[in-house]
Structure 1
Amino acid sequence: MNSPLSAVIVGRLGHLSLNRPDSINAIDLAMMQAMTETLDTWADDPAVSAVLLDGVGDYGFCAGGDFREILSKAAEGMTIGSVFFRNEYRLIAKLAEYPKPVVSIMHGMTMGGGISLAGHASTRVVTDGVKLGQPETGYGFVPDGGATWRLARTPGELGTYLALNSVDLTAGDAIALGFADVMVPTERIGELTTALEAADDVTAPDEIVRRFASGAGAGAGAGAGAATVLDRRDWIDACYSAGTVEAILERLWAFSNGEEVDGLRAADSSDPDAAANAATAADTLLRLSPTALVATLRSVRAARDGETLREALERELRLARWFTTQPDLFTGVQALVAQNTNTLHQGSVPDWKPADLADVDLTDIIAAMETQLRHSVFPRGLGIPEEATEA
């Protein structure tokens, strides 16, 4: 059986490759442990001056967390929130705070936890064929692993829209919204890797990376293509600035019917298909987990209030652990694993409980976000005691 992680030192470069191509490099516990141990070793190794993080296989960098493993561990009685998510979040923080430069390369499918791994590197590369997204609300979960912190820092209400509607991003979108720094064409990734491995000094790998960007020598977004999500910002800001998911839906319906919302009508939008796109967005929301939608909106809005990444990870851990006790996560993941439904693009919708937004208990969600755990992500770093009311 192959190792879930390839770790080699070539020249002065530590090269980490996610190595589960049959599952699009989905993150499992073994991969997390191997990455953590390797990064700890390389941090103190003078022979390593920078790290490259990529994924094996043509389908994508990383499809996110391995929810097959989560379901399996849950069946064994393991407290998933205390093991899988905590380990993952600590790894993400380690990458974000790493003492040496880290270059990540996102290609093909890069979803959820995959964005969290690569998105906190010091230099983040996307290829022309990348497809990024936060699909969590489609399987009864919430954006996590620092995702709310990143989404809350996008322009206007775009992060709210991306989080709630599980929207896919192009390379241009990713750069414009701060998910990536530069686009390198797929056919030049091999050259880029070789250049990083051959460099005598890779303490400034960003300079090497930008030589391979589309339109060499140009800015970060050069060659990345149009940012399609940004073209919809006016009506997204108007509709998604509402305080609740129900109110967002009401605004989307009104806007799609030609009514004025927050001073904007579809006829005056910079998006020529604004009315149709707003109607599609509303239809999408109706297919997703009501509990996940309410919790996601609350979580993204909370991340705006001056949170650090570490603070966001702590809050996300508390919410993720609560979701492992809720039926929608298991309903959604089972549907996803069985490939019996695609909640975003086909007619079938999982049996969400509750099925209506009006029946979601916001009090429970707020309590979950605010209740400290006995074993947090950074118990000492944030001054959170080891002893608390939750496991």
Structure 2
Amino acid sequence: MKTITPRLIFISYRLRSACRLQRIQGHMMSTKAGSEVLFEKVGNAGVITLNRPKALNALNLTMIRHIYPQLKKWDKDSETDLVIIKGAGEKAFCAGGDIRAVSEAGKAGDSLTQDLFREEYILNNTIGTYQKPYVALIDGITMGGGVGLSVHGRFRVATEKTLFAMPATGIGLFPDVGGGYFLSRLQGKLGLFLALTGFRLKGRDVQRVGVATHFVQSDKIVSLEKDLADLKTPSNSDVAQLLDSYQEQVCDGVCIHVCVCRTDHILLLFYCFRLFSAGSVEEIMENLKKDGSAFALKQTETLAKMSPPSLKLTFRQIQEGNNYREKTVRFFPSLLAVLIDKDQSPKWKPSILSGVSEQAVEECFSSLGERDLKL
């Protein structure tokens, strides 16, 4: 029988400790971020996991300040061939930004608000110009900040659980994170409709309108992630081919459902083009009231709840969206009543569309001088 000496016990302990340390370093490089965002290498892929499931993976400044340098590091790493980003839990990819923290910082006069938006937009631009394949698995709620983390990447994979929206006008903001750029490039007047109303797209429609590049069943996401990580030095075309193969699997046995959804999609495009083709928000409201359809009445009711300044600012933003890639605008931080107190009784200033002057809108698009964001 082999004698167990203190030295053998010490060596065994050191080996176990070394293995444990290696696992932690290899799979949980996120301790500095308080585990709110996790980084790991799986095969040839760098994987980012937004890890705030109880907060629907809402994006905060700490997470931004860890994701940005990690993307830069992987971009230069010869052993990292692509990046995958996903959300923890079963409900959300990322439901937006941490608005509570932003609102509280604003009330306290803290610089967090400016810092968060400035650094978030720099991160969005980094994703939009990333040289390696970037795959966002938007399996669940994807709004606001989550849109910024996904829509600018080359590949966006939606599932039947995906719920996409840019509900900014309901909280006194405008569709930021590059919203003016990508929404203005959707079919017809769909982008303007989504921007003004905060309408929620679900499932296959997220891919059908072009927000997502692919659609995959949710129960195939784990398998897809593994196959992506196993790709050897993949090009964008290699990744696209793999995603295409997964999307093709969805078509089996769902033809009738797809036809119904496609019909609904065509009707939505028709209504958006007919009712939202106008020279101002006021004209859109007139179109909706004259139409009188159930769709029009619903949108009239929705727009009546939105911030008038945000509606006019957003209209101008989408109108100009095709003419620029990025543009810095000021915003109206009327967040407290809707998201913090949750009393659904925001006090908009001005409270009616006619109270928002063209000069006020124009000022929002003027240069901020030295404070302009330079990317």
TM-score normalised per structure 2: 0.84
8 Å Cα contact 1:211-1:217 kept in structure 2 = no
What does residue 342 of structure 2 align with?
339
Tell me the SS of whatever aligns to 2:84: strand
Question: Structure 1 pair 169/224, CA: closer, same or farther in 2 (3 Å)?
Answer: farther
What does residue 386 of structure 1 align with?
none
Encode CA deviations 1:260-282: one digit per residue, 9 max, x unaligned.
Answer: xxxxxxxxxxxxxxx11111111
Measure, in 2, the Cα distance between the counterparts of 1:31 and 1:216: 34
CA-CA distance at 1:284 after TM superposition? 0.8
What does residue 4 of structure 2 align with?
none
Question: Structure 1 pair 75/86, CA: closer, same or farther in 2 (3 Å)?
Answer: same
What does residue 233 of structure 2 align with?
201
What does residue 353 of structure 2 align with?
357
8 Å Cα contact 1:12-1:49 kept in structure 2 = yes
1:235 to 271, 274, 288: 271
Q: Do structure 1's residue 142 and structure 2's residue 145 form an aligned pair? A: no
What does residue 28 of structure 2 align with?
none
Aligned-partner residue type, residue 330 of structure 1: L
Tell me the SS of whatever aligns to 1:363: helix
Q: Do structure 1's residue 27 and structure 2's residue 59 form an aligned pair? A: yes
2:72 to 27, 40, 47: 40
Measure, in 1, the Cα distance between the counterparts of 2:302 and 2:366: 29
What does residue 294 of structure 2 align with?
276
CA-CA distance at 1:107 after TM superposition? 1.4
Encode CA deviations 1:317-366: one digit per residue, 9 max, x unaligned.
Answer: 3233xx24xxxx234xx42233333xxxxxxx422222111111221221
2:203 to 154, 168, 171: 171
Question: Structure 1 pair 170/21, CA: closer, same or farther in 2 (3 Å)?
Answer: same
Matches within 5 A, 1:100-179: 100-179=132-211
What does residue 318 of structure 1 align with?
329
8 Å Cα contact 1:12-1:202 kept in structure 2 = no
CA-CA distance at 1:304 after TM superposition? 2.3
Measure, in 2, the Cα distance between the counterparts of 1:279 and 1:54: 37
Encode CA deviations 1:186-211: one digit per residue, 9 max, x unaligned.
Answer: 11011111112233333332222222
Aligned-partner residue type, residue 208 of structure 2: A
Q: Do structure 1's residue 253 and structure 2's residue 289 form an aligned pair? A: yes
Aligned-partner residue type, residue 284 of structure 2: I
Q: Do structure 1's residue 369 and structure 2's residue 365 form an aligned pair? A: yes
Aligned length: 337
What does residue 291 of structure 1 align with?
309
8 Å Cα contact 2:100-2:339 kept in structure 1 = no
Tell me the SS of whatever aligns to 2:322: coil
Tell me the SS of whatever aligns to 1:15: strand
Measure, in 2, the Cα distance between the counterparts of 1:290 and 1:217: 43
Question: Structure 1 pair 217/253, CA: closer, same or farther in 2 (3 Å)?
Answer: closer
Task: Compare the two structures and name the one with the higher helix fraction.
Answer: 2
What does residue 300 of structure 1 align with?
318
Measure, in 2, the Cα distance between the counterparts of 1:115 and 1:71: 20
What does residue 330 of structure 1 align with?
335
Question: Structure 1 pair 248/75, CA: closer, same or farther in 2 (3 Å)?
Answer: same
8 Å Cα contact 1:318-1:373 kept in structure 2 = no
CA-CA distance at 1:377 after TM superposition? 2.5
Question: Structure 1 pair 65/373, CA: closer, same or farther in 2 (3 Å)?
Answer: farther
2:91 to 19, 44, 59: 59
Question: Structure 1 pair 283/152, CA: closer, same or farther in 2 (3 Å)?
Answer: same
1:211 to 245, 256, 259: 245
Measure, in 2, the Cα distance between the counterparts of 1:336 and 1:4: 21
Q: Once superposed, what is the RMSD of the aligned Cα atoms?
A: 2.2
8 Å Cα contact 1:183-1:224 kept in structure 2 = no
1:5 to 26, 37, 44: 37
TM-score normalised per structure 1: 0.81
Encode CA deviations 1:285-322: one digit per residue, 9 max, x unaligned.
Answer: 111111111111011101123x22xxx2xx2x3233xx
Q: Do structure 1's residue 49 and structure 2's residue 81 form an aligned pair? A: yes
Tell me the SS of whatever aligns to 1:302: helix
8 Å Cα contact 2:308-2:351 kept in structure 1 = yes
Encode CA deviations 1:190-242: one digit per residue, 9 max, x unaligned.
Answer: 11111122333333322222222252699xx9x97725343222232122111
Aligned-partner residue type, residue 185 of structure 1: Q
Aligned-partner residue type, residue 166 of structure 1: G
CA-CA distance at 1:373 after TM superposition? 3.6
Question: Structure 1 pair 229/286, CA: closer, same or farther in 2 (3 Å)?
Answer: farther
